[in-house]
Chain A
Amino acid sequence: MDKLIKFLKEKYLIITPVLLIISIAQIDQYSQLTTSGTFGSALRLSIPIMLAGLGGLFSERTGVVNIGLEGMMIMGTWFTAWGGVLFGPWYGVLFGLAGGALFGLIHAIATVSFQVDHIVSGVAINILAVGAGRFFNILAFNDYEYASSTASPIVNGQIGKVTLPFLSGGDINGSSTLNILGIIEEQNIFLISDIAGLLYGVTSNISYFSILALLLIPGSIYFLWKTPLGLQMRSVGELPSGSESLGVNVYLMKYLGVIISGALAGLGGAFLVLEGPSVYLEGQTNGRGFIGLASLLFGNYRPFGVFLGAGLFGFADALQLRSEESIHGLLIVVFLFLFILAARFIYKKNLKSGLICIVLGLFFLIWFNNSTEIPIQFVYFTPHLTTLIVLSFATQKFRMPQKVGQPYRKGELN
């Protein structure tokens, strides 16, 4: 019991909004908030962000800041389309991975071998990727119909999908089975149906690519924390000179980290293409590389944290795609949440913060009352705004790798 109370106290900033959202979702108008459909697309939308975040994790754990993730992801999208158009979707995945890794290599050469400022190099890579994507596209697809300077032809063929049997009604030997989660979801029981909706959404009609991507989370936990190589890579981000003295090849580890980082970001790009419109489009990544980086901060440099962070952004993204009406419902969630925060602040005798929360809360209440929907242009930046809000609540307890962002030169003591 004590443990539970402690847990609730520590995580109330996450638990309260979740409960509020579920409560609001009981109202018919806003039921889209927690349907399996919403969760299904939330998963699909969060995977590219998660892959980018995981990419950032590998790079930053070895001490290299990687804001070039966005560029590597762009390369991932283009190379995927290229490989996909030429040979088929799974080759596209490989091409995307390689394209991202190639740009990771460039970042590694600049930051590790030449000790260029990590952010400067990342910015340059992002600029290079935009130009390269368009240039390659014109070169490769010049003779194709339905291709332009900013869009590739369609990748034929798709990556297979699977639905879990019994729980979500998947097929076994061609005959369909029970759909237990689906049935529970339709009962509209508080909390239980919402959880069933979540599980149903993420277990039905899920592509093999998604499963592969999700497996990368336990995979990276195992790799980074349970294997000698993973330990070496992490040690380089904490104390490179110490690692060096123990015989770790610091440069090699950093190279490895940044290249894996690029490959993962490229994989994220591949997912965007193959699970999305099946073509490369300029601007397709739409800042997801950066949001991935934010999910890394949010997840406190841990794979599972990255997964949660990406899930949150994916959820915000899914809502804006699926139901503008539900986003309007979120206004009342924000209002209630701010009032709960205000009560807590006042209870703790922090009157100023309490008052700010009340004023902001009232603002959202008035907004909610005087409108029936949020302008579509505002809905578009919900994930980005969420990023800022979440980070401003979460940043206090960061534990980043000690030497992240600092150049290291062999033989230098730092």
Chain B
Amino acid sequence: MKIKYNLISLSAPVLALSLSVCITSLILIAIGKNPLETFALMYDYGTTGKSLVSIVNRFIPLYISAIAVAVGFKMGLFNIGVEGQYLLSALLAAAIGASFSVSRPVHILLIMIIATMVSAFWGAIAGYLKVNKGIHEVISTIMLNYIGTGIIAYLLGQVFNDEDKANLIPQTTPLPKTGQIPELNKLLSIEDLPSLHGFLPIAITLGIIYYLLIWKTTLGYNLRITGQNPIAAKFSGVDPKRLTMLAMIISGGFAGLVGMGPLLSYHHQYSIDFPAGLGFAGIGVALLGRNHPIGMAFGAILFAFLERSSQILDLRDVPKEIETMMSAFILLIVVVFYEIIRRYIVTQQIKEASKETES
């Protein structure tokens, strides 16, 4: 029975994807473009070797961001602040990481620990405000995003700016070699392609850690029951305040690692070019993947693919922003479908249960 329901659940993202392809096609027709040609173009460009590497590189931070959001979602908390958390921690980790030098694995580990701690702290502020002041985490994390942006601008411009070189744009001192993760190209013998970020194994490990944490530990169990039924959870002895705090700290901790992929394996320094918007994108991925480690992996790949493959469109006179619209449609439609299917399954289960009691 359970398998049947899982299959039905899986139909939601597929339906959502097809429906948003239809809507996008209608828009394309409306602006006088051929949708079939456009999608074929996107597919061809998105599946070249270069594009595939770029998609995987994009997948890494997107997936971690989704995990960070999902930890909160699992107990019904909305950590909209992943954006601010990962940017602030990436800046501090980049600046502090460049100031010392130890052997490679230790250096990388230390940088990651710094990032995790900074963003866990930033997330904890929202947790504190929720638990002690009753401020909804959506409001507080959004405000903290803006505050974080301001602090980043200040630190980058006034404190950490690498003044040795005549930099036109503010940037931190580059990390020494020991603080950089090498690319995977040699290992996979794809040396003719662009650099494949070495953070990939860590991202996959984080997915596994997330799975174990949520489904195999008491803490994860408490998170899940609180998310599904806060009252029942309370009566079973869960301290909701402590749990909220912990969830925000863990979610923030994961968020700190979002920026580590780009930082350690590609940018090696924080500047205003550092990729932004990953925190918000992660919310979409978590929603699409239903907070499941494998679902989110598919979601992250899908969004990464759409983003990369749409790059070709501008050259063919189709605004590439059609991709942003399409992602948003997928998101909006998929949440509707999930809800419809959830209701359907609940009704079916009630019917089955009543049949069983009758017989």
- Over the window 112-140 of chain B, the binary record of Cβ atoms lying under 8 Å from chain A Cβ atoms (1 yes, 0 no) is 00000000000000000100011110111
A127 touches B321 (CB 8 A): no
Contact check: which of B134, B157, B287 meets A396 at CB < 8 Å? B134
Would you list which residues of chain A between 396 and 414 have a CB under 8 Å from chain B? 396, 398
A225 CB–B CB distance under 8 Å:
no
| B323 and chain A: residue at smallest CB distance | A131
Sample of 23 A–B contacts (CB below 8 Å): A123-B284, A124-B332, A127-B328, A128-B325, A128-B331, A128-B332, A131-B324, A131-B327, A135-B325, A138-B319, A139-B319, A290-B142, A294-B143, A375-B158, A380-B150, A387-B139, A388-B135, A391-B139, A391-B140, A392-B129, A392-B133, A392-B135, A398-B134
Alpha-carbon gap, A110 to B335, bound state (A): 9
A131 touches B139 (CB 8 A): no
Of A20-28, A111-119, A259-267, A359-367, the one touching chain B: A111-119
B149 CB–A CB distance under 8 Å:
yes
Alpha-carbon gap, A211 to B321, bound state (A): 37
A377 CB–B CB distance under 8 Å:
yes
| Residues of B near any A CB (own CB < 8 A) | 31, 78, 80, 129, 133-136, 138-140, 142-144, 146-147, 149-151, 153-154, 157-158, 280, 283-284, 287, 319, 321-325, 327-329, 331-332, 335-336, 339-340, 343
**Which residues of chain A have C-beta atoms less than 8 A from B154's C-beta?**
375, 377-378
A377 touches B143 (CB 8 A): no
B139 touches A120 (CB 8 A): no
Alpha-carbon gap, A391 to B154, bound state (A): 25
- Over the window 80-122 of chain A, the binary record of Cβ atoms lying under 8 Å from chain B Cβ atoms (1 yes, 0 no) is 0000000000000000000000000010001000111101110
Other than the known A124-B335, A388-B147, what 9 A-B pairs have Cβ atoms closer than 8 Å? A127-B327, A131-B328, A149-B319, A293-B139, A297-B135, A297-B136, A377-B151, A377-B154, A378-B154
Instruction: Give the total of A residues in contact with B, Cβ under 8 Å.
Output: 42
A124 touches B287 (CB 8 A): yes
B329 touches A128 (CB 8 A): yes
A19 CB–B CB distance under 8 Å:
no
Alpha-carbon gap, A174 to B339, bound state (A): 63
Alpha-carbon gap, A30 to B19, bound state (A): 59
| B342 and chain A: residue at smallest CB distance | A115
Alpha-carbon gap, A134 to B327, bound state (A): 14
| Residues of A near any B CB (own CB < 8 A) | 67, 106, 110, 114-117, 119-121, 123-125, 127-128, 130-132, 134-135, 138-139, 149, 287, 290, 293-294, 297, 375, 377-378, 380-381, 384-385, 387-388, 391-392, 395-396, 398
Contact check: which of B146, B287, B319, B340 meets A135 at CB < 8 Å? B319
**Which residues of chain A have C-beta atoms less than 8 A from B150's C-beta?**
377-378, 380-381, 384
CB distance from A91 to the nearest CB of B (A): 23
Alpha-carbon gap, A114 to B335, bound state (A): 9
Contact check: which of A114, A127, A294 meets B280 at CB < 8 Å? A127
Q: A128-B325, A384-B146, A388-B129 are in contact. Are A377 and B134 (CB under 8 A)?
A: no
**Which residues of chain B have C-beta atoms less than 8 A from A381's C-beta?**
146-147, 149-150
Alpha-carbon gap, A120 to B332, bound state (A): 9
Contact check: which of B157, B284, B321 meets A377 at CB < 8 Å? B157
**Which residues of chain B have C-beta atoms less than 8 A from A116's C-beta?**
335-336, 339
* 8 A-B pairs closest in CB distance: A131-B324, A128-B328, A381-B150, A377-B154, A384-B146, A377-B153, A135-B321, A392-B133
> Most B CB atoms within 10 A — which of A297, A395, A398?
A395
| A126 and chain B: residue at smallest CB distance | B280
Alpha-carbon gap, A387 to B146, bound state (A): 11
Alpha-carbon gap, A120 to B335, bound state (A): 8
CB distance from B12 to the nearest CB of A (A): 12
Alpha-carbon gap, A318 to B327, bound state (A): 37
**Which residues of chain B have C-beta atoms less than 8 A from A297's C-beta?**
135-136, 139
Alpha-carbon gap, A127 to B129, bound state (A): 26
**Which residues of chain A have C-beta atoms less than 8 A from B151's C-beta?**
377-378
Q: A110-B335, A135-B322, A381-B150 are in contact. Are A395 and B327 (CB under 8 A)?
A: no
Alpha-carbon gap, A391 to B134, bound state (A): 9
B146 touches A287 (CB 8 A): yes
A117 touches B335 (CB 8 A): yes
Contact check: which of A67, A121, A135 meets B332 at CB < 8 Å? A121
A149 touches B280 (CB 8 A): no
Contact check: which of B144, B157, B325, B339 meets A115 at CB < 8 Å? B339
B340 touches A114 (CB 8 A): yes
